[in-house]
């Protein structure tokens, strides 16, 4: 699922820095929508954004700017309904009814709105019932080309995934009472983590190797893959990561490498996960910068507090029970361990995403989610299923069902 931001309709001081932070922090696309603006003002804003981010930016006005800036694409609207003949990038537009979705063959994606009551436009109320959206989903009308817009908050994302939307576009929630800190918090700790509540950690067995195991999870709907290849030469890890990255892009998934910081840079993966005996997260951040996701492994509350101080973006907490996919296990936590640690985190006001890991099966998910963890990491239990793709989808539906209750 794509995560798209839309700018405020008016310019504000520090906007280029905010856009840069959002795109480097995990936002897939940024739509610049400034009705009534001058071309030179849009150009000035673009000039203040690092050029390597242009491929993630779409404009709603002054399409002639695509001649000067190598942008991702344009968004057609009532003000600008025609695509310039010279444009070869992406084309999107907005739809406001289910019927309009029958006529989107000639574009790359569209926004369907308003799905929920708008945050930015007071009085602009939802145009669709859950029943209408579910019916459109069953008929395949809502698909990967349709992005939900209107009143989107993190809590809505699991339901929108269930309906089959290919992305979510966020405006009001993103820009309410903003500072750079709150923006970073919203993108990394709220919106991004709701997209990836199931993490698949690669594993190999007699039937699947590291690459094919990840592909099975991706085809089942998983959007977060951790490539874990212990005791394998780094060049082999890099080669596998480069192949896997193409599949992750195809399925709109994040790719995290286990342990290998330099390989993360070389392959253009989305981030790295560091175990307790790996490089420190603070040193990894110095190498990778703020544009990469960094996760860390914890077994205790002390571990969590150390990782928070070192600036990780999420924490893998475990193991839940014994697992054969990992050697040198830390002490088993069990459900009581999770309850105790998560309660302590809540009391201390820690909001960092915490993902449960280690020997978890589908039947464990409801009880583990009830402890307050953000998501679940699985490996062997998916590959042992008769059909890993179906098992992945069942698990995602189970997590979404829990979050929607």
CATH code where residue 11 lies: 3.20.20.70
- Residue 6 pLDDT class (50, 70, 90 cuts): very high
- Work out whether the CA dihedral 264, 20, 62, 36 comes out positive or negative: positive
Q: Is the pLDDT of residue 95 over 90?
A: yes
Over range 86-106, report the average pLDDT.
93
Give yes or no: residues 348 and 366 share one domain. Answer: yes
pLDDT at 176: 75
Give yes or no: residues 260 and 227 share one domain. Answer: yes
Give yes or no: residues 164 and 34 share one domain. Answer: yes
Query: Tokens at residue 316, please?
Result: 């893998």
Give yes or no: residues 217 and 309 share one domain. Answer: yes
**Whole-Å CA distances, 211 to 169, 236, 248, 324:** 31, 11, 11, 19
- 260-270, pLDDT tens digit by residue? 999 999 999 98
pLDDT at 194: 57
Q: Is the pLDDT of residue 186 over 60?
A: no
Give yes or no: residues 215 and 176 share one domain. Answer: no
Q: Is the pLDDT of residue 188 over 70?
A: no
Of 127-141, 206-220, 230-244, 323-337, the least confident: 323-337
294 and 312 Cβ atoms separated by less than 8 Å:
yes
- 319-370, pLDDT tens digit by residue? 998 666 555 656 889 999 999 999 999 899 887 889 999 999 999 999 999 9
- Residue 246 pLDDT class (50, 70, 90 cuts): very high
Q: Is the pLDDT of residue 392 over 70?
A: yes
Give yes or no: residues 177 and 210 share one domain. Answer: no
Q: Is the pLDDT of residue 172 over 70?
A: yes
Helix (H, G, I), strand (E, B) or coil at 148: strand
Q: What is the 8-class DSSP label of residue 36? A: T
pLDDT at 175: 83
Give yes or no: residues 202 and 262 share one domain. Answer: yes
- 275-300, pLDDT tens digit by residue? 988 999 999 999 998 778 899 999 99
Q: How many domains does the chain have?
A: 2
Q: Is the pLDDT of residue 108 over 80?
A: yes
Query: Tokens at residue 66, please?
Result: 């695509």
Domain boundary among 127, 155, 187: 187
- Residue 192 pLDDT class (50, 70, 90 cuts): low
Q: Is the pLDDT of residue 206 over 50?
A: yes
Residue by residue, what is the 3-state secondary structure of 108-175? Answer: CEEEECCCCCCCCCCCCCCCCCHHHHHHHHHCCCCCCCEEEECCCCHHHHHHHHHHCCCEEEECHHHH
342 and 349 Cβ atoms separated by less than 8 Å:
no
Dist. CA 386–CA 335, nearest whole Å: 27
Dist. CA 326–CA 337, nearest whole Å: 19
- 134-170, pLDDT tens digit by residue? 999 999 999 989 999 999 888 788 788 878 899 999 9
Helix (H, G, I), strand (E, B) or coil at 146: strand
Domain boundary among 145, 164, 187: 187
Domain that holds residue 178: 2-187
- Residue 43 pLDDT class (50, 70, 90 cuts): very high
Query: Tokens at residue 362, please?
Result: 């589908």
Give yes or no: residues 92 and 138 share one domain. Answer: yes
pLDDT at 56: 94
Task: Count Cβ atoms within 10 A of the Cβ of residue 97 and give its class: 0-12 exposed, 13-18 middle, 19 or more buried.
Answer: exposed
pLDDT at 136: 95
Q: Is the pLDDT of residue 256 over 90?
A: yes
In this structure, how many other beta carbons lie within 10 angstroms of the beta carbon of residue 294?
Answer: 24
Domain boundary among 154, 187, 220: 187
363 and 375 Cβ atoms separated by less than 8 Å:
no
356 sits in which H/E element: strand 354-356
Give yes or no: residues 56 and 22 share one domain. Answer: yes
Q: What is the 8-class DSSP label of residue 60? A: S
pLDDT at 189: 47
Give yes or no: residues 201 and 170 share one domain. Answer: no
Task: Count Cβ atoms within 10 A of the Cβ of residue 222 and give its class: 0-12 exposed, 13-18 middle, 19 or more buried.
Answer: buried
Give yes or no: residues 99 and 210 share one domain. Answer: no
pTM of the model: 0.67
Over range 215-223, report the average pLDDT.
92
Give yes or no: residues 387 and 322 share one domain. Answer: yes
Average pLDDT value for the chain: 89
142 and 112 Cβ atoms separated by less than 8 Å:
yes
Over range 71-80, report the average pLDDT.
94
Of 13-22, 116-125, 226-235, the least confident: 116-125
pLDDT at 329: 58
pLDDT at 180: 57
pLDDT at 290: 75
pLDDT at 284: 96
pLDDT at 162: 79
């Amino acid at each position: 699922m794509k995560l798209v931001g839309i700018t405020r309709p008016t310019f504000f001081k520090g906007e280029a820095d905010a856009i840069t932070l959002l795109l480097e922090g995990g936002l897939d696309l940024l739509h610049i929508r400034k009705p009534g603006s001058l071309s030179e003002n849009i150009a000035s804003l673009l000039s203040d954004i690092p050029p390597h981010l242009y491929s993630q930016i779409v404009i709603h006005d002054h399409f002639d700017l695509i001649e000067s800036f190598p942008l991702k694409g344009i968004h057609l609207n009532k003000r600008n309904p025609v695509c310039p003949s010279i444009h070869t990038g992406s084309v999107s537009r907005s739809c406001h009814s289910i019927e309009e979705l029958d006529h989107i063959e000639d574009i790359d994606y569209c926004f369907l709105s308003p799905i929920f009551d708008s945050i930015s436009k007071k009085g602009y109320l939802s145009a669709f019932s859950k029943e209408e959206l579910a019916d459109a989903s069953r008929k395949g009308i809502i698909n990967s080309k349709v992005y939900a817009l209107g009143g989107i908050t993190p809590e809505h994302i699991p339901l929108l995934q269930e309906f089959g939307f290919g992305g979510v576009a966020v405006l009001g929630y993103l820009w309410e009472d903003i500072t750079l800190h709150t923006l970073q918090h919203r993108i990394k700790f709220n919106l991004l983590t709701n997209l990836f509540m199931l993490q698949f950690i690669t594993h190999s067995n007699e039937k699947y190797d590291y690459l094919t195991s990840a592909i099975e999870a991706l085809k089942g709907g998983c959007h977060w893959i951790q490539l874990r290849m212990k005791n394998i030469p780094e060049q082999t890890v890099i080669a596998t990561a480069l192949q896997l990255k193409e599949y992750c892009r195809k399925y709109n998934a994040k790719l995290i490498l286990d342990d290998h910081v330099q390989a993360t840079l070389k392959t253009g993966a989305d981030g790295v996960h560091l175990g307790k005996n790996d490089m420190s997260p603070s040193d990894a951040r110095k190498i990778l910068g703020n544009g990469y996701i960094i996760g860390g492994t914890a077994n205790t509350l002390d571990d969590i507090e150390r990782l928070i101080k070192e600036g990780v973006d999420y924490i893998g907490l475990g193991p839940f029970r014994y697992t054969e996919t990992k050697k040198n296990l830390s002490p088993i936590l069990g459900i009581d361990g999770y309850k105790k640690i998560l309660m302590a985190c809540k009391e201390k006001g820690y909001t960092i995403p915490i993902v449960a890991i280690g020997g978890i099966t589908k039947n464990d998910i409801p009880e583990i989610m009830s402890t307050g963890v953000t998501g679940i990491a699985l490996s062997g239990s998916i590959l042992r299923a008769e059909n890993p793709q179906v098992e992945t989808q069942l698990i995602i539906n189970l997590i979404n069902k829990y979050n929607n209750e």
